[in-house]
C-alpha cells in the first residue's frame, strides 16, 4: 500500500508529465514547427517524434553509440554531456533490444526520466518534510512539478536523475547515512557539469551539524570525485581533461551578459535567472547559507558558462528554491502560484516541442 506522500509524488510526477506531452502535441498540430532548420524526424508520426527535440539526440546518441564511434571524428559537443544519464538509459533500453530504432530509444528515455522524476519528488518531499513539515512537503512537490521549466523532467534529459541524486544526497547527510551520501554525491558529480557544486552544500551542512563527523565530511566531497572520474576519463582518451568545460557560449558574455538578449525567448530566460537570484537571498534567510550557496554557485556557473541561454532549464534543478516556496507560501496563495506556473509550463512546452528557441 503506497503512502500518502508516495501517491502525491506519483500523481504529480506522471500527471504533469502527461499534460506537458499533451500540450506539446497540440502545439505541434496547431502551431506547426518553427520556420528554422531542424533535424530530420525520428518518425513520420508526429506523436512518436515528440521526444526528439533539442538535446535529446545527444543523450540518446551517447547511450546508443558512446562518445566515440569508429571512423567518426570525436565531437566536442558530445563531450560536454556527462555520462550518468546516458549510461542508465543504455542499461534500461538494452533490456528492450532497441537496435537502431531511435523511437524506442527516445520513448525509453521518456519512461525512464518520468520514473526518475517520481523518485526525485519523493526525495524532495522527504527533504522538505525534514526542514519544514509534512504540509510544506506536499506543496514543495507541486512547486517542482509545475515550475515553467520543468518540461525536461519527462524527456530524455539528465534533469530527473540530477534532481534525484542531489536531493537524495542532501537527505542522506541530514540523516547521517555515510554510504548513501557517498553514492548519491558521486552520481550527482557524474550527471551534470554543475554536480560538483553540491559538495559546497553538503560540506557546509556537515560543518553546521551539532556533532561534526569526519566521515560525513569526507563523504560530502563525493560530488567532486564524480566529476573527477569523468574528467580523468576524457583526459585519458582525448588528452584534454576539461573538454566538457571548453567552448561554452557564455564565456563570451561575462563582461555584458545582456548582450545576447534579443528576443522574447531570451527575456524569458533572463526572467528565470532573476527569479532564482531573488529566491537565493530568501533561501539564505529561511533555510540557511549551505542551501543558498548551492543556488548562488550554480547560477554563477551557468551564467558564466552559457550566459542567459538555457537559464530557465538550469534553474529547474535548484531544489532549495522549491523547498523555500513550499515552506513559505500558504495553501490559498500557493494554489494560485501553482496554477499560474503550470500554465506557463504548458506554454513553455508548446514552444519547446515546436522548435521555438526557448532555450
Between the CA of residue 188 and those of 49, 302, 304, what are the distances in Å? 29, 16, 21
Q: Tell me whether residue 205 is in a domain.
A: yes
Helices 331-353/4-30 angle, 10° precision? 40
pLDDT in tens, 88-111: 999 999 888 777 788 999 999 999
The grid coordinates of residue 343 equal 500554465
Q: What pLDDT band is residue 38 in, cutting at 50, 70 and 90?
A: confident
**Residue 193 cell numbers, joined:** 557539469
Q: In terms of DSSP H, where are the helices of the chain?
A: 4-30, 56-65, 84-94, 102-132, 134-145, 159-174, 178-189, 198-208, 214-219, 222-238, 264-286, 289-306, 311-315, 319-328, 331-353
Name the more confident of 96 and 283.
Answer: 283
pLDDT at 248: 55
Cα 182 to the center of its chain, rounded Å? 20
Count CA atoms within 13 Å of residue 29 on its CB side: 9
Position 172 scores a pLDDT of: 97
Alpha carbons 79 and 11: distance in angstroms, whole number: 35
Distance in angstroms (rounded) separating the CA atoms of residues 35 and 197: 38
Mean pLDDT of the chain: 90
Cα–Cα dist 129/160, whole Å: 20
> Would residue 85 count as lying in a domain?
yes
Using CA atoms, how far apart are residues 185 and 169, in angstroms rounded to an integer?
Answer: 6
- In this prediction, residue 357 carries a pLDDT of 83
Give pLDDT, residue 35: 85
Predicted model pTM: 0.94
- Per-residue pLDDT band at 178 (split at 50, 70, 90): very high
Min mean pLDDT across 102-116, 231-245, 251-265 is at 251-265
The rounded percent of the chain whose pLDDT value lies above 70 is 93
Dihedral angle sign, alpha carbons of residues 209, 206, 125, 301: positive
Judge whether 5 and 122 are in contact, CB under 8 Å: yes
Domain membership of residue 145 as a residue range: 4-353
- Residue 348 within any structural domain of the chain: yes
Classify residue 358: in a domain, yes or no: no
Examine residue 359 and state whether it is found in any structural domain, yes or no.
no
Average pLDDT over residues 122-126: 98
- Residue 72 has a pLDDT of 58
State the average pLDDT over residues 304-310.
77
Mean pLDDT of 328-334: 92
Confidence of residue 251 (pLDDT cuts 50, 70, 90): very low
pLDDT at 54 over 70: yes
Determine contact, residues 105/93, Cβ cutoff 8 Å. yes
pLDDT surpassing 70 at residue 305: yes
At 275, is the pLDDT very low, low, confident or very high (cuts 50, 70, 90)? very high
* Cell numbers representing residue 303 in the block: 551564467
In a domain, 112, yes or no: yes
If one counts the domains in the chain, the total is 1
Domain membership flag for residue 160: yes
The mean pLDDT of 3-29, rounded to a whole number, is 96
The whole-angstrom separation of Cα 98 and Cα 102 is 8
> Taking residues 199-219, what's their average pLDDT?
89
Is 317 part of any domain?
Answer: yes
Mean pLDDT of 32-41: 86
> Residue 252: pLDDT band by 50, 70, 90 thresholds?
very low
Amino acid at each position: 500500500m503506497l503512502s500518502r506522500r508516495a501517491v502525491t509524488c506519483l500523481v504529480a510526477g506522471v500527471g504533469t508529465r502527461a499534460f506537458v506531452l499533451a500540450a506539446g502535441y497540440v502545439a505541434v498540430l496547431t502551431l506547426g514547427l518553427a520556420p528554422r532548420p531542424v533535424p530530420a524526424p525520428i518518425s513520420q508520426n508526429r506523436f512518436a517524434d515528440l521526444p526528439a527535440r533539442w538535446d535529446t539526440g545527444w543523450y540518446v546518441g551517447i547511450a546508443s553509440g558512446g562518445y566515440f564511434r569508429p571512423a567518426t571524428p570525436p565531437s566536442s559537443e558530445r563531450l560536454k554531456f556527462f555520462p550518468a544519464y546516458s549510461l542508465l538509459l543504455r542499461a534500461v533500453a538494452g533490456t528492450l533490444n532497441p537496435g537502431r530504432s531511435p523511437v524506442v530509444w527516445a520513448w525509453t528515455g521518456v519512461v525512464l526520466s518520468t520514473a526518475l522524476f517520481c523518485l526525485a519528488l519523493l526525495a524532495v518531499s522527504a527533504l522538505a518534510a525534514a526542514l519544514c513539515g509534512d504540509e510544506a512537503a506536499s506543496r514543495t512537490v507541486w512547486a517542482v512539478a509545475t515550475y515553467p521549466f520543468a518540461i525536461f523532467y519527462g524527456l530524455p534529459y539528465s534533469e530527473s536523475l540530477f534532481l534525484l541524486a542531489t536531493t537524495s544526497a542532501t537527505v542522506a547527510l541530514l540523516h547521517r547515512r555515510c554510504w548513501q551520501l557517498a553514492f548519491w554525491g558521486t552520481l550527482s558529480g557524474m550527471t551534470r557539469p554543475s554536480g560538483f557544486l553540491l559538495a559546497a552544500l553538503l560540506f557546509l551542512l556537515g560543518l553546521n551539524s551539532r556533532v561534526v563527523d569526519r566521515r560525513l565530511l569526507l563523504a560530502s566531497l563525493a560530488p567532486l570525485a564524480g566529476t573527477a572520474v569523468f574528467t580523468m576519463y576524457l583526459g585519458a582518451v582525448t588528452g584534454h581533461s576539461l573538454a566538457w568545460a571548453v567552448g561554452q557560449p557564455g564565456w563570451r558574455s561575462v563582461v555584458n551578459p545582456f548582450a545576447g538578449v534579443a528576443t522574447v525567448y531570451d527575456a524569458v530566460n533572463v526572467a528565470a535567472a532573476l527569479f532564482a537570484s531573488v529566491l537565493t537571498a530568501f533561501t539564505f534567510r529561511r533555510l540557511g547559507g549551505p542551501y543558498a550557496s548551492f543556488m548562488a554557485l550554480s547560477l554563477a556557473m551557468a551564467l558564466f558558462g552559457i550566459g542567459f541561454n538555457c537559464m530557465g532549464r538550469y534553474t529547474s534543478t535548484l531544489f532549495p528554491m522549491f523547498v523555500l516556496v513550499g515552506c513559505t507560501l500558504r495553501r490559498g496563495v500557493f494554489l494560485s502560484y501553482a496554477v499560474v506556473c503550470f500554465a506557463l509550463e504548458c506554454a513553455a512546452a508548446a514552444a519547446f516541442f515546436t522548435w521555438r528557441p526557448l532555450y
